[in-house]
Structure 1
Amino acid sequence: MNTIAPRPEAIIFDIGNVLLRWQPEEHYDRWIGEERRRAMFDAVDLHFMNELVDRGGDFRDIVYDTAEKYPEFRTEIRWWHDRWLDLASPVIDLSVATMRALKAHGISVFVLSNIGRGSFAITRDAHAFFDEFDRLYISGHMGVTKPSPDIYAMVEADCGISPKRLLFADDRIDNINTASARGWQTHHFTDPRHWADDLIARGLIKETDL
């Protein structure tokens, strides 16, 4: 028998590809050309490097230490830190508008993201809208990353909201699957318009809010 999902008490946004576009390869293609970018990404596991930052490691130290191990790409690897704001861009404006619409209707909005302490500090300083969120769950501070069930359990314990009343938007299906397994409502984010339409269909915001 189909059941109607309860009205969410809090809406949880991922950052990468939900609030800020996260496609590092595209930026490196522009900076150094696709051929050299492919060679660098084949030689260096840059996404694992970033995962170490996301788990709580020092942003600059991890990036610069990695760069020293690959002198042929030293300058380009350092850009992961030095050009971070360019790498994590642009802002997905409709998602920010959606967040503000939810707040205007009295609905709590949280962030849950795999991002380091240092990288998020830079990001937050550059984008004031992060201060509008009610709670920020940042993996670098929590010491664990999605899709580990532990990070979802930490969110539940901190906010005190029943899992079935949390609605979570993330671009990665593995993160969505873990949230769903815990009883969270979810939206697999592929497009900001689809996300806004989902929230409208749920009666949480209106088209005129956007």
Structure 2
Amino acid sequence: MTTAIKHIVFDIGSVLIHYDPHLGFADLIPDQAERDWFFKNICTHEWNLQQDRGRKWEEAENLLIEQFPDHEVHIKGFRQNWHKMVPYAYEDTVTILRQLIADGHDVTMLTNFASDTFREAQERFTFLKEPRGATVSGDVFVMKPEREIYDLHVRNFDLDPTVTLFIDDNRANIDAALEAGWQAIHFTDPANLRSDLAAYKLTV
């Protein structure tokens, strides 16, 4: 790899901060099997993704409460306990992020995230304010791996895709970035990230 990278774009969830919805329901629904059923049938991954696309929480909650009125407390508990679902940052990856910024590299973020919870995350994990900026799916109503969000990020941050390096844990998001003409690293852990960055002559 000889491409001289000028822009580095980080994903957030499962790259910089930990996310596990079960942590928000450990007290609300202590039984594992019952909790699994709840996430499979009521507050599903697909339902939550629509908040990442920009749907407001009140609308999302009302939709489910109408269908499952007996589960109103648990449905509302998803947003109320969201802070428990993101308990910590991956400090080794944060160190890499900060070192890249300190070394003068242009660093931005591209994330599937609800608009309000992203701002909450920024207040809790202040390193999320250190890059030049972020494209947040909940703000722009389009999500990875849809091509539009990659092109939007390029336009908004004046990037050259051919010298832009994207870091994400989701293979589909990586493939979409490559199709958009970006360079990309499939994130698995900080040690491999350091090695992959070194291949682009980015030493951290």
TM-score, reference length from structure 2: 0.90
Residue 21 of structure 1 is aligned with which of 6, 15, 18? 18
Look up the equivalent residue of 1:132 and give its one-letter code.
E
Matched, 1:113 2:118: no
User: Deviation per CA, 1:79-115, whole angstroms, max 9, x where unpaired?
Assistant: 2211112112321111111110001110011110000
Aligned mates of 1:82, 1:133 — CA distance in 2: 28
User: Deviation per CA, 1:94-143, whole angstroms, max 9, x where unpaired?
Assistant: 11111100011100111100001111121112111111011211011111
Which position in structure 2 is the counterpart of 1:126?
124
User: Deviation per CA, 1:39-90, whole angstroms, max 9, x where unpaired?
Assistant: 1122225212211111111134423543453234332332221111211232
Q: Secondary structure at the match of 2:165?
A: strand
Aligned mates of 1:139, 1:151 — CA distance in 2: 8
Which position in structure 2 is the counterpart of 1:190?
188
User: Deviation per CA, 1:20-53, whole angstroms, max 9, x where unpaired?
Assistant: 1123245545752311111112222521221111
Q: Write out the 4+ residue segments of structure 1 that deviate beyond 6 Å after TM superposition.
A: none
Residue 92 of structure 1 is aligned with which of 90, 93, 109? 90
CA root-mean-square deviation: 1.9
Aligned length in residues: 203
Q: Which runs of 5+ in 2 are unaligned?
A: none
Q: Which runs of 5+ in 1 are unaligned?
A: none
Paired-residue identity, %: 28
Gap change, CA 1:135 and 1:73, over 3 Å in 2: same
Gap change, CA 1:95 and 1:60, over 3 Å in 2: farther
Q: Secondary structure at the match of 2:109?
A: strand
Q: Secondary structure at the match of 1:32?
A: coil
Asked whether the equivalents of residues 105 and 204 of structure 1 are also in contact (C-alpha less than 8 Å), the reply is no
Q: Secondary structure at the match of 2:193?
A: helix
Q: Secondary structure at the match of 2:98?
A: helix
More displaced stretch, 139-148 vs 21-30: 21-30
Residue 155 of structure 2 is aligned with which of 154, 157, 173? 157
Q: Secondary structure at the match of 1:151?
A: helix
Matched, 1:146 2:124: no
Q: Secondary structure at the match of 2:134?
A: strand
